[in-house]
Structure 1
Amino acid sequence: MTVQPKPIPALYCVYILRSTVRHGSLYIGSTPNPPRRLSQHNGQVKGGAVRTSRSSLRPWEMVALVSGFASSTAALKFEWALTNPHTSLHIPSESRLAFSTQRKRNGQPKRPPKSLTSILSNLHLLLSVPSFARWPLTVHFFARDVHAAWGRWCGKAERELRGSLPVVTDFGDNVTAVAKAVKPPDDAEDGEEGDEVPTWGIYGLSLDYEPLKEYVAKGRDIFEFERQGSCVVCKEEIEPDEGGLHAVCSNEGCEGVGHLRCWGRYLLRKEEGVREEAVLPVGGRCPRCKGEVHWGTMMKELTLRVRGQKEVEKLLKVKRKRAAKKKTMKTNEANEEEP
């Protein structure tokens, strides 16, 4: 069976779950939909892990997560390494922080007990090792004490994270609209409203490609109307039928297009402190508009353009059904008013 290539997902993350009843009970998982996954862990909808099914530990909360994984496979690799830092080959032996002191019946090393400090220290370590250091990841914290613990560890960690790694906090402070209505299930009675949930934390994360809508529209128009011109780096003309991959500047008003290899080499050259063996840039400045660009965002748009026709059509289509429904309702109302 042939596996069809897919675009980079809108969101895929590795999360840290904590029991609100017993803070020492922690769980690590991965998901493309944190709100739905949390509902599963809390038994509100079907699914969830057996380890989080004990009613004495519910409800659970997501206190932190790492987003920006290019696929579910990438997220699962990171999740496994964070769950098994005592055996993960992504961590050099001389840098390992977690060690097993016991063996399972099959002779394999037993996982050492997890604590918030051990998870955060190994998270910091994984974000700095060669396997993951240059991935376009973002760290999110939704609990103030967890973020404080992260800060304490960063202050004494021997390894440093790259300076451009985004760390976002959202504790729900100064939020004016603190709740939103959730769409009710299909079997709900007419007029029944859904439950209300917060708009901050995991509920404030974008689960679709909506933030990229204007960028995606720009990229599609450039290539549909053959406005790609010449490469912004090597200055060679980009032919309409050229088979190579091309990246587009993400800044509003700039239509800078370049060969993928040219963009990569250019951004790596301009990046300070980059290792010679690095093959993936993190970001930099567009050679045309001089605006800041992020490699992960550019690759998400590119993979949508070349692999995600269905996703692009869904994102850019005009919502005609809703307009047609309103028109029909108005027509029916007018007909009822006629004598």
Structure 2
Amino acid sequence: MPGLSKPIPPLYTVYILRSTVRHSSLYIGSTPNPPRRLKQHNGDAKGGAVRTSRETLRPWEMVGIVSGFPGMVAALKFEWALTNPHLSLHIPSTSRITISTQKKRNGHPKRPRHSLTSIISNLHLLLRVPSFARWPLELRFFAPEVHKAWKKWCDTANEPVRESIPVYTDFGPAHTDTTADESGPITGIDEPWGIHALPLDYKPLKDYVTKTNSIYTFEREGSCVICREYLPPGEGLYATCPNTGCEGTGHVSCWSRHMLGNSDEDVIPISGQCPQCKGKVMWGEMMKEMTLRVRGAKEVDKLLKKPRKRTAEVAAEDSE
């Protein structure tokens, strides 16, 4: 979880950057705003990284991202591990794929050069290690050959990543054939695609937040859907089912136990079934809404604020 003063951000990503001039030149970074960060890497905005500042390699493109991190620190940990898989303590020595064979002048191991295969294979590995395996992460690929490399590695890997990690593709209007595990509607030529189609705010949660705002504002929490105890308004940490039409609410601790089931090893839930509507619920989605409600009053007000009517509409109503 992020700092207590902030909710889980609407988006935080670890991205794979590739030179459009030389595809073998790759870079890994993290950002809450991929479009802005790409402009920085390409010199269209201040910032960027020294390693991507060579004009002979520009423009760069983001060919894949991992999203769903609960905050900057979490994303930075994953970014560092993916950038330095030969050193990361998140990877057990027996599972390590990338091995350093050279040393720097200071005697420390030198990081092997990135390749698409090395990044994809270590990405697959990191999604399976205990440190990250239960995080609510998602994968998106924006280049067909990168997604193909991912699928190829998945087909040959000894162990699979968990099935609940969704994989999306968006190759742009020039590619109408999608082979992703999951895919959204095909975008038109004039519609944004790739990183430019990603939601950078909380709008995808608007209906969910509208429902919970009504429940908690009017103190309609009722009884916990799991333990059946009464939920005193404002006196506990509660979470509500995200499914449309369901107002099942309960203690966060009860939701956690319910979704973990009989597991004695796992600490973080992934998904489960709502006892009230019987629909599937995702722990990450519930926690994002809960932290937004508890820690992000300004963001909630902004999200639920009704748009101001246009002057012409107001004038027309006044004349009636």
RMSD between superposed Cα atoms in Å: 1.7
Q: Which residue of 1 aligns with 2:99?
A: 99
Partner Cα separation in structure 1 for residue 312 and residue 42 of structure 2: 38
Structure 1: state its 5+ residue gaps: 181-198, 335-339
Q: Which residue of 1 aligns with 2:288?
A: 300
Question: Which amino acid in the other structure matches residue 39 of structure 1?
Answer: K
Residue 190 of structure 2, aligned match among 158, 174, 179:
179
Q: Which residue of 1 aligns with 2:224?
A: 231
- SS for the counterpart of 2:272 is strand
Mapped pair 1:317 → 2:305 = yes
Shift of 1:268: 1.1
Mapped pair 1:132 → 2:120 = no
- Post-superposition Cα deviations, 1:169-219, rounded to whole Å, max 9, x if no partner, equal 111234453235xxxxxxxxxxxxxxxxxx111111111100100101111
**Range moving further from structure 2, 20-29 or 171-180:** 171-180
Spell out the pairing of 1:26-105 with structure 2 (5 A cutoff): 26-105=26-105
Partner Cα separation in structure 2 for residue 205 and residue 176 of structure 1: 13
Partner Cα separation in structure 1 for residue 107 and residue 37 of structure 2: 33
- SS for the counterpart of 1:252 is coil
Q: Which residue of 1 aligns with 2:110?
A: 110
Structure 2-normalised TM-score?
A: 0.91
Question: Which amino acid in the other structure matches residue 305 of structure 1?
Answer: R
Percentage of matched positions with identical amino acids: 64
- SS for the counterpart of 2:94 is helix
Partner Cα separation in structure 2 for residue 77 and residue 100 of structure 1: 20
Structure 1 pair 114/309, CA: closer, same or farther in 2 (3 Å)? Answer: same
- SS for the counterpart of 2:261 is helix
Which structure has the larger Rg? Answer: 1
- SS for the counterpart of 1:61 is strand
Mapped pair 1:123 → 2:123 = yes
Partner Cα separation in structure 1 for residue 64 and residue 7 of structure 2: 25
Question: Which amino acid in the other structure matches residue 293 of structure 2?
Answer: R
- SS for the counterpart of 2:90 is coil
**Range moving further from structure 2, 88-97 or 101-110:** 101-110
Question: Which amino acid in the other structure matches residue 223 of structure 2?
Answer: S
- Post-superposition Cα deviations, 1:215-236, rounded to whole Å, max 9, x if no partner, equal 0111111011011000000111
Shift of 1:37: 0.7
Partner Cα separation in structure 2 for residue 298 and residue 164 of structure 1: 16
Partner Cα separation in structure 1 for residue 81 and residue 217 of structure 2: 42
Shift of 1:4: 5.5
Question: Which amino acid in the other structure matches residue 277 of structure 1?
Answer: E
Partner Cα separation in structure 1 for residue 221 and residue 248 of structure 2: 8
Residue 253 of structure 2, aligned match among 237, 258, 261:
261
- Post-superposition Cα deviations, 1:248-302, rounded to whole Å, max 9, x if no partner, equal 00001100001001101111118xxxx5311111112111001111111100000
Shift of 1:18: 0.4
Contact 2:187 2:193 survives alignment (8 Å)? no
Aligned residues: 304
Structure 1 pair 234/30, CA: closer, same or farther in 2 (3 Å)? Answer: same
Spell out the pairing of 1:123-162 with structure 2 (5 A cutoff): 123-162=123-162
Structure 1-normalised TM-score?
A: 0.86
Structure 2: state its 5+ residue gaps: 177-185
Mapped pair 1:220 → 2:213 = yes
